[in-house]
Amino acid sequence: MPKINLLYIITKLELGGAQKQLLSLIRGLNKQTYNVFLLTAKDGLLVNEALALDGLILKRSSFLERRINPLKDFLALIEIYSFIKANKIQIVHTHSSKAGILGRLAAALAKTKIVIHTVHGWSFHGYQSLIINRLYLFLEKVCAIFTSKIIVVSRWDKNKGLNNHVGRQEQYVIIRYGIDCADFQNREKSAAVKKSLGFSAGELVIGMVACFKPQKSPLDFIKLASAVKKDCPNAKFILVGDGVLFKQVLCLIKKLHLDGQVVLAGWRRDIPAILSCLDVFVLTSLWEGLPIVVLEAMASGVPLAATDTGGIKEVIVDQETGYLVRAHDIDSLSNRVVKLLKDNQKRDEFIKSSKAVVEAKEFSLSNMIQRTEELYLNLTEKYKNA
């Protein structure tokens, strides 16, 4: 049987959950079945990792970018359309908001029979202006018309899409993010990792891994650090990531007199090692789908305190597998973090119960790859004679 020409499109290969999951999926695909192509922005921290993947043909676009730019967006649309036609693509699978819209429009113009989109959190949310919110919602509704299947990583995203009349019930498929728990279960070297980051072995460390952008609300993490220090003066903090809010984060650290208390580690490739040395993991996001870093922290044996956004409550059950608080509620978040720092029994309870959740087959990497390939093959069979 001839191989299936499969094209993935993602806006940018930055160090994010969607990007990491996509590369894991590509790495695990059966290359005897698929010719695999990936179209993405020219630059990105994970481009070299993509270039190193066996059997992957990488197309780096000069026009695709996250920021709205009518001229570049139009040129990107034409570029994607031309690439689909030139390579006789049979399946287009888009990831991320901009790529999801342009990629699906191009696939429709090219008359591609199988078009799949994975939602890593919807492009429309309550923190946008009304005009932008309605624009993205309109575009998602239009693109859903010619989408074969919409993959969501949480029930929350499925319900949000349907409640906003994006697509039909039968278009939705839930395929959870998958991780290899074995990659996150080595805490033996945590003392050495702490030392390398400038922490002493006995210090309690609270950390967050996130892009410095409004969605992740990193300024709330700095405010949290200031609040926690009042009850736990010896606590230290680490923020892994970078982004447009870096200067604001730095200024707030100085304003709150947290110099030397908060480590800004930048982007790191050794996330399992970083997680291994944390005593509490925090996430201050304002909106989410289902952040993969939460699963990674749970697999690492780190208790969590997070904002109750998107599908997070599908893995963190408040008071059972972690703590959930309202977004921007620094006082409540601080109280929960302090409790975890002082209550070893509660920490251990959360670690045990959260590991049971993340070690289930539903969140395994092999399950994610298997279910995605089954979807491809089922759709290929369905449209073979169409």
pLDDT grade for 146, boundaries at 50, 70 and 90: very high
Residues 32 and 161 in one domain: yes
Same-domain pairing of 67 and 11: yes
Sign of the CA dihedral running 137, 141, 147, 149 = positive
Q: Tell whether 89 and 146 lie within a shared domain.
A: yes
77 and 113 share one domain: yes
Model confidence at 250: pLDDT above 90: yes
pLDDT of residue 17: 86
The span from the CA of 343 to the CA of 348, in Å, is 9
Q: Which residues contact 148 (CB under 8 A, 6 or more apart)?
A: 113, 114, 115, 116, 171, 379, 383
Same-domain pairing of 17 and 115: yes
Cα angle 175, 187, 199; round to 5: 115
CA distance 120 to 76: 21
In the predicted model, is pLDDT for residue 217 greater than 90? yes
Same domain, 270 and 159: no
Helices (H), 256-315: 271-276, 292-299
Whether residues 8 and 146 share a domain: the answer is yes
The confidence score (pLDDT) of residue 189 equals 66
Q: Do 36 and 112 sit in the same domain of this protein?
A: yes
Decide if 299 contacts 364 (C-beta within 8 A). Answer: no
What is the tally of structural domains in the chain? 2
Q: pLDDT at position 386, please?
A: 59
The answer to whether residues 219 and 349 belong to one domain is yes
φ, ψ dihedrals at 252, nearest 5°: -70, -35
Residue owning tokens 């050794």: 270
pLDDT at residue 154 tops 70: yes
Instruction: Render pLDDT for 107-137 as a digit per residue (tens, 0 to 9).
Output: 999 999 999 999 998 989 988 899 999 999 9
CA distances 75 to 115, 167, 231, 306, 354, Å, are 20, 27, 55, 40, 46
Question: Once rounded to an integer, what is the mean pLDDT over residues 40-58?
Answer: 93
Residue 344 sits in the same domain as residue 368: no
d(CA 103, CA 98): 8
Average pLDDT over residues 159-177: 97
- Write down the pTM of the prediction: 0.92
> In the prediction, which pLDDT does 19 show?
92
pLDDT at position 94, please?
98
- Residue 236 is part of a domain; what is its CATH number? 3.40.50.2000
pLDDT in the model for residue 213:
92
pLDDT digits (tens, 9 = 90+) for 188-216: 667 788 888 888 878 899 999 999 999 99
Whether residues 230 and 288 fall in one domain: yes
58-114: pLDDT as tens digits: 999 999 998 889 999 999 999 999 999 999 999 999 998 999 999 999 999 999 999
pLDDT over 80 at 385, yes or no: no
The angle that helices 218-231 and 246-255 make with each other, rounded to 10 degrees, is 20
The parent domain of residue 339 ranges over 181-361
SS3 of residue 40 by DSSP: strand
Do 213 and 315 lie in one domain? The reply is yes
Residue 284's alpha-carbon distances to 175, 212, 363, in angstroms, are 25, 11, 22
pLDDT at 68: 86
